[in-house]
Amino acid sequence: MKLSDGFDARRLRPRGPSNWRMRFAAILAALLAAFGVLLTMAGAASLLGRAPTLGALNESTGAAAVLLVFGLLLLWTGIALWRLCRRRLRRPSDLSMAPHLMKKRD
């Protein structure tokens, strides 16, 4: 089937709403995960006794363990939120073809 030169398939699909909210949420989730990694590393370093700059965390292992667990929770939450936002960003639009009707790309 020959397509004419003036044909543009993007005109057939209406423009959906912009997804800047999901992008912003994905950025915040990534920052949350990064902060969780930093807290986890600080807690682990304090538990190992290699954290002279953490102040009171150097003396108490309980505070270091709480910091480690809180960092792991932040990391897990950030990754889960980031994956949810990315999944919503990549969701197909209303017009979609069945996969077996698509052109095969080798």
3-state DSSP assignment of residue 51: coil
Q: How far apart are CA 36 and CA 43, in angstroms?
A: 10
Alpha-carbon span 78 to 71, nearest angstrom: 10
Distance, CA of 39 to CA of 28 (rounded, Å): 16
Sequence spans of domains, the chain: 20-91
Digit-by-digit pLDDT tens for the chain (106 residues) are 565 667 666 677 666 667 888 899 999 999 999 999 999 998 888 888 776 666 666 677 888 899 899 999 999 999 999 999 998 888 765 556 666 666 666 5
> What pLDDT does residue 96 have?
60
pLDDT value for 106: 53
The pLDDT of residue 46 is 85
- Predicted confidence at residue 15, as pLDDT, reads 66
Nearest to 32 by CA among 86, 88, 70: 70
